[in-house]
Structures are given as structure tokens and as C-alpha cells.
A and B are shown apart, each in its own frame.
Chain A
Amino acid sequence: MKNIHIYISKISLIFVVLLLGNTAIKAQDEKGGFFRKHKFVNMTEFGGLFGRIKYQANYYGGWYPYPYPGNYPDQYQIKNKVNLSMQTFNGIYIDRKTAAGITIGVDGYGETVLMPIALGVRRSILQKKEGGSGLQAGIDAGYSTTWLNEDNTGFHTKGGLLVSPTVGYRLPMRNGSAWLINIGYRFQRAEYKMDRNGNEVYWSETNEVRKYKRMVLRLGVEF
């Protein structure tokens, strides 16, 4: 029951954010003074998070006491990983080249789904011709929430810091919108905790600190 309440509150929060975005657009329609001066901008992108994992392969699987401690050097195994990422940036132009706003995203790392909420800045850094294609840099920094995540029994996921700088192309269309191709880096921190289990004599508990470090490649639209 408690879970349902939390779920409802999360969903409603998302709606509130969307509604705020909506009113911002409406406000622009009404040609309010502020939004005439600072144009609203939305950049919605989909992409992948590319990276690899490296983990101890000769880990002794929990046997204790380990038969010959220290006799084996650590051996690592590598695997490449690609995960999905999407995000939407809603902001305003604070000057001719720079837009600032809020970024909300969804990043899936296997079973773990993180929903970052971040402050974002986009700035055009190189444009040869007014209205033409250009280079754009951006950075998002904020906190990854676990609102969309569902945990296994006895486990708890906690979100953490998100930092994601990108650089990419902005390719304007005739209708005033633009295509976006961004490439960059995405750092996300999360914690995965296992409650103590076992009995009063033998028990165990774990806490995993995860630092996802990925290359991000996203395609999207700006309007």
C-alpha cells in the first residue's frame, strides 16, 4: 500500500514537471514579456551509453576461509556494454547562444533504471553562418533518482550524482526546428545495498558503490 502511494506521488511529480513545461509553452504563445525575450527551447534525445565492465573473475564465490589467501593474483574479466538512454531538456535562451534549463532523463543499466533530474546548459560554440549548422556544447549536472526503479526483495538502490558533458552538431531544419547529434561522457553514481540476511550466527550484508562511466551518443530534435 505504501509503495502505491510512493508510486502515485512519483507519477504525479512527473506530471507536474510536464505541466510546468506546458505552461511555459503556453506562456510563450501568449507572447509574455519574459518569454518574448527568452525563447523556450526543448531538446529531446535518444541514444546509447557505451562502455565496459571490468570485474574480478577469480573471486572465490564466498567461500570462507579462503583456502590460500593471497596466493592468487586478481584476475579481471572485461565485457562491453551498451545501454539505453533518453532525455529531454526544457529551457530558455538566456542569451543569443546559450540556453539553460532542466534535464530529465531515463537511463537503463540492466535491471537498474535511473531517472536523472539535472540542471542543463547548452551553448553554441561554433557557427559559421547565422541560421546554419553549428557546433554545440552542453553539460548536465544533477542527481539520478531511482523513481522508476524496482528493487528485488531485500535490496535497495540509491541514486547519486550525475555529470554529463557533451559536444555535438546542431543541424537546423527549415521550419525552425533542428536535428541534434551529441557525443559525450556520462558519469552516474548509484548504490546497491543488500539488507543483512542469514541468522544470528552467520549473516552477511553488502553495499555496492556503482560509478557508471560511459560514452554517450544521442540523436534528437530541438524545437
Chain B
Amino acid sequence: MRNNYFKQLAVLLSLGVALGTTSCTDDCETTRTYRTSVPFVLSADQIRKDIASQGPQELVNLGKIYVKDNYIFINELKKGLHIIDNANPQQPQNIAFLKIPGVIDMAVKDNILYVDSYMDVVTFDITDPKNIKQMGRVKDVFNYGTADGITWSYNVGYQTVTDYDTKIVTDKIRTNCGFQIVNPNPIYYANDMSFYSGSKGPTGPSASGTGQGGSMARFTIYDDFLYTVSQNDLLLFNIKTLSQPVQEGKINLGWGIETIFPYKDKLFIGSTTGMYIFDNKNPAKPERVTMFEHARACDPVVVANDIAYVTLRTGLCGVAPNRLDVIDVSNIYSPRLLKSYEMQHPAGLGVDFPSLFICEGEFGLKSFDASSATDIKLQQHMKDMNAFDVIPLGGKHLLMVGKDGLYQYDTSNPKDMKLISKIPVKPVS
């Protein structure tokens, strides 16, 4: 009996010790993962010196595309341009890389390439794409610009550009187990995210001697003028002397300007709040005619046969519904909404009348029959790829760029488009 007591006491004691050594403090740890921006500063000198014509490089983090004759220029965001020889669309050749810090936009006339390089506009001679030479430079044109949700800014006084890298951060915090709402903390960013030009607008039809722009075109060439849109201005450059543009005019447009699309003698400018129409009869002095307003959204515009196609999508530009607006612009003084169509997450679009191609981001590429504006019919939906920008080239040939590659399709039958070739993009780690 006594022995039994001892045994039980031992059990009790060990229980007590076990209780004593374990703490009565809740242990809560939050692992936060977030994507954010980290600033870095570049001097203007550094940016201006850092231009080089290099050998071909793998495609990474693609931005806008531009086509001139047999060459495709693909922007690697703020790093440079990949040059693809597309003489044989079945086997496009990656032939060179032109390193330009801060490049977002481009346009070509004859053998001259116009690009932005942070605050400057730079011109290149591309007669030999493997050996591109810098020709001229217009300094201090832009004060800030946006790509992929990141806005860089230029300080003229200090001659420095502040730009941001995005990175994914993981950290751990000891929290109070949800007893007070401190967790999860909102994450604030040093960078203003309200400016965003992620939309991939379509581009103007090719005028003689100029190339065909990729979708988000903020650069376009008409006659002897290069038009560029910054966040709130339309800037005009005279390019009579091709290699040395001269800035001639600046028209304030308000805020959130995204894309520019020349059609006949008009300029269609897409902003986050609406579509501006400019009369461009005198290319040296475009005049604002009207504005067609819509909900706040990212909205590239294309125009064909006096019908404007505008896609609205939810994103950094706003929270509008995802849809396609079809607008009659035969009378530019009073554009009229004909019909709206539901979309999934439309980005860039292109029209090769009567076919209309719309990139649906992660939902793939769609081909429509747009012969009747009030009854646009879906003809084909290609899924399982990411599509953000499309350029219908002449001759039933389509160029499409997405996060995973540069695709080319044969569209002679818009109900059954055939893949001609694909250049894969190196995934961003």
C-alpha cells in the first residue's frame, strides 16, 4: 500500500514539473509574404552612358512590341530591346539586344528608331540591326513615367532618376494571436501606385515608312511628327530631320493617359477615365475635339471603319467591369456607344476587319467576328496561355505576346487559327 502511494506521488510530482516547465504564453507567429518596391537611384550621366548594342539575349519580362518590316522589337522593361528577325515567321531569329536603361516605348520611321530612356528621347540608326548606332538625343523630356505599376521620377536639379525594383519579401512577426487587429498590417509603399499603364493598347495602322507599334503605344509617328504621351501631356516632336527630333509642342491632357492611336487624321488617346479624340488635320497642332467618358479602368482603344473598340478592365487603373465597348465615331463630335460586351479580363486588342482579336490576360486569346458592331460573335477562344498584347499584321498573320512567350498565328481562318511559331520567355524567378 505504501509503495503504491509513492508511485502515485511520483506521478503527481512529474505532472507538476511538466506543468511548471511549460509556459502559459501563447506563441503566435505570422509569416507575411508580400510584393513591394525597393528604390534605387541612377544619375543622368550613368543612364546616358549605359547604351550598348549587344548580342542576342533570352527574352525576359516583356513589355511592348513594335514591328517594322521583317523586324520585331520587343521591349524588356527598362532594360533594352530584343530584336527579332522575322523574315521567316516559322523560324524567327533572335538576333540582337540593344541595351537602353529605362526604355518603355519605341517607334520607327524609315531606318530611325525612337525610344525613351527614362527622361530622354533617344534616336538610333537601325540600318544594321546587329550594329545599332546612337544618333541623337532630346534631353529632359519626361519627368516621370510608369510601367508595370512602378513609377520612376526624374529630379532635374540633382540630375538623378529614382526608380524601383519589385521584390517579394517574406518576414516573420510575433503577434498577439488575433486578440487585437494589428495583424495583418496593411503594407504601405514608398512608391505611388495610382499611376499605372499596364494596359496594352493597340497601335495605329502603319503609315508609309513607319513601323507598326505594339499595343501599349505611347509613341506614334504621323507624317513628320512623333507623338508621345506622358502621364498627363501629349508631347510633339518634329522629325523632319529624322535623327534629331525637335520638341515643338506640349498639350496638357489631364491625368492617367495611357495609349495613343492614330486613325485617319484623328488621334485617339486612351486614358483611365475616357477616350479623347484629337483632330490632327494640322499635325503640328492637334486639337482636342471631344472626350468620351467611361468608368475608371485600363482602356486601350482601336479604331476601324469608324468604329472604336475599347476594352475596360479591372486593375490598377480602376475597378470598372471587364468589358468591351463598341463606339460609333463616324461623327467625332458626338461619339455614340453602340453596345457593351462582357469580357473576362481584357488587355490588348487588335482589329483586322472583320476579325477582332482580344487578349484576355490569363484567360487566353479570343477571336471575334466583328462584321456587325451590334452583334460581335466569338469565333475561337485559345486557352492555356497568357495573352496581353496582339498586333494583327497584314496578310492574315497575327503577333501575340504574353507572359510566357511571343506567338505568331496564321489567321486565314479566324475560327481555327494556327500556331506558326513561338519564342519562349524565360520565367522571372
Q: Which residues of A contact B (CB under 8 A)?
A: 50-56, 59, 61-65, 74, 76-77, 79, 81, 109-112, 125-126, 135, 137, 165, 167, 184-185, 187, 192, 194, 198-215
Given known contacts A76-B174, A205-B32, A51 and B19 CB-to-CB distance under 8 angstroms = no
CB-based contact A201/B177 at 8 Å:
no
CB-based contact B26/A137 at 8 Å:
no
CB-based contact A211/B27 at 8 Å:
yes
Of chain A, the residue at the smallest CB distance from B187 is A62
Q: Which residues of A contact B193 (CB under 8 A)?
A: 199, 201-202
Q: Which residues of A contact B178 (CB under 8 A)?
A: 109-112, 192, 208, 210
Q: Which residues of B contact A207 (CB under 8 A)?
A: 30-31
CA distance A184 to B20 in the complex (A): 10
Distance in angstroms from B422 CB to nearest chain A CB is 23
CA distance A65 to B76 in the complex (A): 26
Q: Which residues of A contact B11 (CB under 8 A)?
A: 125, 137
CA distance A62 to B34 in the complex (A): 10
Q: Which residues of B contact A185 (CB under 8 A)?
A: 18-19, 22, 24
Of chain A, the residue at the smallest CB distance from B34 is A204
Distance in angstroms from B93 CB to nearest chain A CB is 32
Q: 6 tightest CB-CB pairs across the interface, nearest first?
A: A201-B149, A204-B34, A62-B185, A55-B176, A51-B24, A62-B187
Taking a contact as CB atoms closer than 8 A, the residue among B149, B184, B198 that contacts A202 in the complex is B149
A-contact bits for B26-43, CB 8 A (1 contact / 0 none): 111111111111110000
CA distance A59 to B196 in the complex (A): 30
CA distance A210 to B185 in the complex (A): 17
Of chain A, the residue at the smallest CB distance from B33 is A205
Q: Which residues of B contact A194 (CB under 8 A)?
A: 184
Task: Report if B15 contacts A (CB, 8 A).
Answer: yes
CB-based contact B25/A52 at 8 Å:
yes
Can you list 11 residue pairs at the A/B interface with Cβ under 8 Å?
A: A50-B24, A53-B179, A54-B25, A55-B174, A64-B34, A65-B36, A81-B26, A110-B179, A184-B19, A200-B198, A215-B24
CB-based contact B29/A212 at 8 Å:
no
Task: Report if B169 contacts A (CB, 8 A).
Answer: yes
Distance in angstroms from B346 CB to nearest chain A CB is 15
Most buried by A among B32, B178, B198: B178
Task: Report if B190 contacts A (CB, 8 A).
Answer: yes
Q: Which residues of A contact B321 (CB under 8 A)?
A: none
Q: Which residues of A contact B32 (CB under 8 A)?
A: 204-206
Task: Report if B12 contacts A (CB, 8 A).
Answer: yes
Most buried by B among A59, A64, A167, A194: A64
Given known contacts A54-B25, A201-B35, A206-B32, A63 and B188 CB-to-CB distance under 8 angstroms = yes
Taking a contact as CB atoms closer than 8 A, the residue among A61, A64, A211 that contacts B26 in the complex is A211
Distance in angstroms from B75 CB to nearest chain A CB is 18
CB-based contact B183/A204 at 8 Å:
no
Taking a contact as CB atoms closer than 8 A, the residue among B12, B24, B166, B176 that contacts A213 in the complex is B24
Most buried by B among A53, A111, A184, A215: A53
Taking a contact as CB atoms closer than 8 A, the residue among B24, B31, B148, B177 that contacts A206 in the complex is B31
Q: From DSSP, what is the main secondary structure of chain A's interface residues?
A: strand
Task: Report if B428 contacts A (CB, 8 A).
Answer: no
CB-based contact A64/B28 at 8 Å:
no
CB-based contact A199/B36 at 8 Å:
no
CB-based contact B30/A65 at 8 Å:
no
Chain A-chain B contacts (Cβ-Cβ < 8 Å), number: 166
Q: Which residues of B contact A (CB under 8 A)?
A: 5, 8, 11-12, 15, 18-19, 22-39, 148-150, 166, 169, 173-179, 182-190, 193, 196, 198, 315-316
Most buried by A among B12, B30, B166, B193: B30
Q: Which residues of B contact A110 (CB under 8 A)?
A: 177-179
Q: Which residues of A contact B173 (CB under 8 A)?
A: 56, 59
Given known contacts A185-B22, A208-B29, A125 and B12 CB-to-CB distance under 8 angstroms = yes
CA distance A111 to B179 in the complex (A): 8
Given known contacts A81-B26, A202-B193, A204-B33, A210 and B174 CB-to-CB distance under 8 angstroms = no
CB-based contact B176/A53 at 8 Å:
yes
Q: Which residues of B contact A214 (CB under 8 A)?
A: 24, 26
Given known contacts A200-B316, A202-B193, A208-B178, A61 and B12 CB-to-CB distance under 8 angstroms = no
Distance in angstroms from A70 CB to nearest chain B CB is 12
Of chain A, the residue at the smallest CB distance from B15 is A167
CA distance A222 to B59 in the complex (A): 73
Q: Which residues of B contact A204 (CB under 8 A)?
A: 32-35, 184, 187
Q: Which residues of A contact B177 (CB under 8 A)?
A: 53, 55, 109-110, 208, 210, 212
Of chain B, the residue at the smallest CB distance from A55 is B176
Q: Which residues of B contact A208 (CB under 8 A)?
A: 28-31, 175, 177-178, 183
CB-based contact A53/B149 at 8 Å:
no
CA distance A209 to B174 in the complex (A): 10
Of chain B, the residue at the smallest CB distance from A124 is B8
CA distance A200 to B67 in the complex (A): 28
Q: Which residues of A contact B316 (CB under 8 A)?
A: 199-201
Distance in angstroms from A148 CB to nearest chain B CB is 16
CA distance A185 to B23 in the complex (A): 9
CA distance A59 to B25 in the complex (A): 19
Q: Which residues of A contact B15 (CB under 8 A)?
A: 137, 165, 167
Q: Which residues of A contact B190 (CB under 8 A)?
A: 64-65
Distance in angstroms from A197 CB to nearest chain B CB is 9
Given known contacts A81-B179, A125-B8, A203 and B34 CB-to-CB distance under 8 angstroms = yes
Q: Which residues of B contact A76 (CB under 8 A)?
A: 174
Taking a contact as CB atoms closer than 8 A, the residue among A50, A167, A184, A201 that contacts B150 in the complex is A201
Q: Which residues of A contact B34 (CB under 8 A)?
A: 64, 198, 202-205
